Structure 1
């Protein structure tokens, strides 16, 4: 089974069209997709987590 796609934070911010500061404000409120910190300190978001977050946002808006 292939490993899940992990996106860099910059890729996530570009996809959701959001600034880093706004993303971290949402994260502080528990409203952002889950970040994973790699051993080298880089941050990643799994594609599955991002897609699930998008679905929750759409449900909230409806």
Structure 2
């Protein structure tokens, strides 16, 4: 699947970032998490490209 179209579940994103679901949802509530897509069944998906953009935005330069 094209990485731009790859959709990740919340569980997959949390596993990749090594954070709990509650942390992910706290970020989401504060509008600090990656952009999400809400499916008709109310489940969330995150585009791989949006996650990568979000990570790039939060990259910190080393000292």
TM-score range, shorter chain: 0.7 to 0.9
Question: How many matched pairs?
Answer: 59
Per residue, is there more helix in 1 or in 2? 1
Unaligned runs of 5+ in 2: none
The residue aligned with 1:15 is 16
Q: TM-score, normalised by structure 1?
A: 0.83
Quote the Cα distance in structure 2 between the aligned partners of 1:42 and 1:49.
Answer: 17
Q: 3-state SS of the aligned residue for 2:22?
A: helix
Structure 1 runs, 4 residues or longer, greater than 3 Å off: none
Note the aligned Cα RMSD (angstroms).
1.5
